[in-house]
Amino acid sequence: MDFDLNDLKWAYVIGIIFLFILVFQGSLLVFYGPFMFFLFFLISLWFIYDGTRKYLLSNKVRDTSTSKIRSAAVGLVELFGTAKLPDNLLTPISKQKCAYWLLQFEYAERGWHYYFSIDSENKFWLQDETGKILVDTKGAELDLQTNNVYIGIFKNEKNDDAKKFLPKVVIDFIESNPISKRKLRMYHGMQLRVSEFFLTDLDPVYVLGDATMIENVKSVVGSDNLIVKKGTFNKLLYISDSSEKKVLENNWGNAMQYIFGGLIAATFFLYLLIKFWMKLNGG
């Protein structure tokens, strides 16, 4: 969740419009054409790469059998259950009890642009009817539904038109958190969008990752000795608050769009690069 391809998709669309303007303005094409062709060729390759990654992930989801937590063993595991709430963890904005939270910060400048995220950086217990297992969220690819969205100008000052500004609880968090305070100190007066994601005990939780033994823990219940985290071999940890079926549908659909769209675009821009090069060399 650290990067949103929607920003790249909009930049891609705007760039293609600009490219067509160049094509019909021959003098501009001489100066900017090769650079633009190469830039959009690289962006097309990025879409192919991300689509391939999603395709491989969807294959992992499809081919890995869902285990009951009590039956989980060391290695790649697919689990489905609910999060067990700790006693002392609340979401930073809405103050809801949760097992894990994440805040995503975006700024407005001709559209919304992802800036950074902050999360609770904690482990949580995943449970089903057979038992519980610890999940380490560090390095996870997160696919969570947005719980709350706060939009407004970041300005910690009193103003009559308070509707334009971020709520005080959001401002208070930004000012109290050293990471957000440092990153947003240059964004006073700008419009921000702060999205809050979290897992509660009512949410379904899907986890695909590596189960490994916890050091210095010996329990008669096998799953209590394990922790699911991003592995060193598979390098995979995927956490979603959707069912396995929906996870598979979303990743498969996005994969096909990115791969085929990227292939078509890459072929087109490579053709333009070759044609331009041949023209310069009198071909």
Token couple for 55:
């395709």
In sequence order, what are the beta bridge partners of 196? 103, 148
Q: How confident is the model at residue 239 (pLDDT cuts 50, 70, 90)?
A: very high
Residue 215: what pLDDT?
81
**Range in 28-32, 128-132, 168-172, 214-218 the model is least confident about:** 28-32
Put the strands of the sheet holding 148-153 in their side by side order: 112-119, 100-108, 191-199, 148-153
Tell me which long-range contacts 105-109 makes (C-beta under 8 A, separation of at least 24): 105/180, 105/183, 105/184, 105/192, 105/193, 105/194, 106/192, 106/193, 106/194, 106/195, 107/187, 107/190, 107/191, 107/192, 107/193, 108/190, 108/191, 108/192, 108/193, 109/190
Residue 5: what pLDDT?
45
Q: Which of 59, 14, 55, 6 is nearest to 256 (CA)?
A: 55
H or E segment to which residue 95 belongs: none
Residue 221: what pLDDT?
63
pLDDT at 2 over 50: no
Q: How confident is the model at residue 28 (pLDDT cuts 50, 70, 90)?
A: very low
Residue 283: what pLDDT?
55
Q: How confident is the model at residue 4 (pLDDT cuts 50, 70, 90)?
A: very low
User: Average pLDDT, stretch 7-13?
Assistant: 50
Residue 137: what pLDDT?
92
- Please indicate whether residue 80 or residue 44 has the higher confidence score (pLDDT): 80
User: Average pLDDT, stretch 3-31?
Assistant: 50
| CA–CA separation, 133 and 121 (whole Å) | 17
Residues recorded for the chain: 283
pLDDT tens, position by position, 192-238: 999 999 999 888 999 999 999 888 777 656 677 899 999 877 788 99
pLDDT at 7 over 50: no
H or E segment to which residue 171 belongs: helix 168-176
Token couple for 224:
């209590």
Instruction: Look at strands 237-240 and 131-136 and give their pairing.
Output: unpaired
**Range in 100-109, 115-124, 211-220 the model is least confident about:** 211-220
Amino acid in position 225: N
Q: Which of 83, 106, 123, 91 is nearest to 240 (CA)?
A: 83
CB 118 within 8 A of CB 177: yes
Taking each continuous run of H as one helix and of E as one strand, the counts in the chain are 5, 12
In sequence order, what are the beta bridge partners of 208? 78, 238
User: Average pLDDT, stretch 66-71?
Assistant: 90
Residue 209: what pLDDT?
92
Q: What is the DSSP letter of 97?
A: B
CB 133 within 8 A of CB 146: no
Contacts of 84 (CB under 8 A, 6+ apart): 99, 124, 125, 126, 127, 132, 201
- Please indicate whether residue 192 or residue 6 has the higher confidence score (pLDDT): 192
